[in-house]
Structures are given as C-alpha cells and as structure tokens.
Amino acid sequence: MEVHHHPDLHNNTKRFKEYFLEFLMIFLAVTLGFIAENVRERLTELSKEKQYIGAFIRNVKDDADYLRHVIKFDSSQVKGLDSLLMLSHANFADDSNRKSFYYYVFRYCFNSAVFKSNDATLQQLKSSGDYRLIEKDHAADSLSKYDAGVKGIYAQGDYYQIYFREILSRIDDLADMTIMLDSSYMKGWRLTGKTLPPLRVGGDKLPTFFNKVLDFRIITSSYSQNDLKPQLEYATTLISFLEKEYGIEDNSGGD
C-alpha cells in the first residue's frame, strides 16, 4: 500500500518567518551602520570646520596686528612728507634748508611699509577643496569678503610701491646720497655739523621732485585711510562674529 506524505505547512511557515527576521536584522544593521557612518562623517566635518575657523581667526589676528603697524607707519610717513613739502620753495643755498631736506628724505623717503596677509588657512581651504565645509550662515561669505579686501589692498600696495620707487629715483637726481656712508657727514644715522653738498637743482628737477612727493603723500594717505583702516575694522568685527558663531573663546588676552 502506497503511503503519501503531505507537506508540513506549519514548518514551512516557520522557516519563512525566520528568513524574514534574518533579512530584517541584516537590513537594520546595514541601515544603522550607514546612518552611524554618516553621523560620524558629519561630526568629523563639523569638527574640521571649527578647526579651520579657529586657524583663520588666528590668521586674521596676525593681520590685524600688521595692519595697525602699517597704519601707524603710514601716519608717521604722511606727517614727515608734509614737513618735507614745506621746503618745496626753500632756498637750498642755505645749509640749514639742505640739512632739513636730507633729514626728512633720510627719515621718510627711504622706508616703506606694505601690508601682507597671513593667508595660510584661506590658501589651504582653496587648495584642499574644503571651502565647502564652511557652512554656517554668512561665514563662507565673510571669508570671501575678507579675502577680496586683502586683494584690493595688494593692488593699492603695488601702486604705493611704484610711487615709492619713483621718489627714490628722483632723490638720486637731486642729492649726493654717498654722504650716508661718510662719517664726517653722518654718525649713527644723524647728520653732523659739516656743511652738506649742494643739491642739483638745475632745470625742473626740484619742482618735479616735490610734485612726486605730493603724489606719494596722497597715495600713502589713501592707502592707509581708504584701504588699511576699513580692513582693520572689518577684521575686528569678523573675529568677534566668528568667535561667537563657532563658540571659540578669545585667548588673545586683549590688545
């Protein structure tokens, strides 16, 4: 007699539930792993963003110190150039006028100061492609605005340097600068009482020189007032904004 075995439906149903539970657990594990990785990556990016901002703030503080230095130098230079311009119609046959001329030229026409930004963090953000990490409201725009301001200062600084070199060239046409190395005329960068060589004032050399000094005075004042000071004000504001936005403490100890 042939015996027929009927399938065990109960056992099949049980195996299907087990497969489904296994699939669900694997799915949940993969999903949670994916979510955890995304959270971990997001936290890493937020930490990296804050590190970049902290480094940028330190750079801007360096810039602020340098801006103050150049502004102070330029202010002194403008005053010195004003004093030099007072001699534009002086009689340089008079040795006292020549001494004043050499004094102001030595002190205010042989040195220049131009601003150079500490842009290490901005350059790293650009080269690494990490600019995308700066996500907080207005932070990325603020960094770009600051960078644009620096570029504008560089352009004006180049203009300033052109006029500075022009002044030096005009001085060479007018004065005997070898006295700077002659101890009978100068000791410790101070003029002695020895009578100074005459200036070469023939033709239009002298009027042209003083016209160039006036131009240089205007350029120097504009560089300081219209470029450096606004950038210093923005730098100060930007530092406060970013420290507050990112919860970064000011450890500078004050100015």
The pLDDT of residue 130 is 84
Amino acid at 224: S
Residue type, 44: T
Range of the domain at 162: 9-246
Specify if 55 maps to a domain.
Answer: yes
Within-domain flag for 73: yes
**Terminal CA-CA length for the chain:** 107
Q: Beta-carbon neighbour count of residue 60 at 10 Å?
A: 24
Q: What percent of the chain has pLDDT over 90?
A: 59
Q: How many structural domains is the chain composed of?
A: 1
- The answer to whether residue 42 scores a pLDDT higher than 60 is no
Task: Please determine, for residue 44, whether its predicted confidence score (pLDDT) is greater than 60.
Answer: no
| Predicted model pTM | 0.81
Q: Quick check: is 252 in a domain?
A: no
The answer as to whether 255 is a domain residue is no
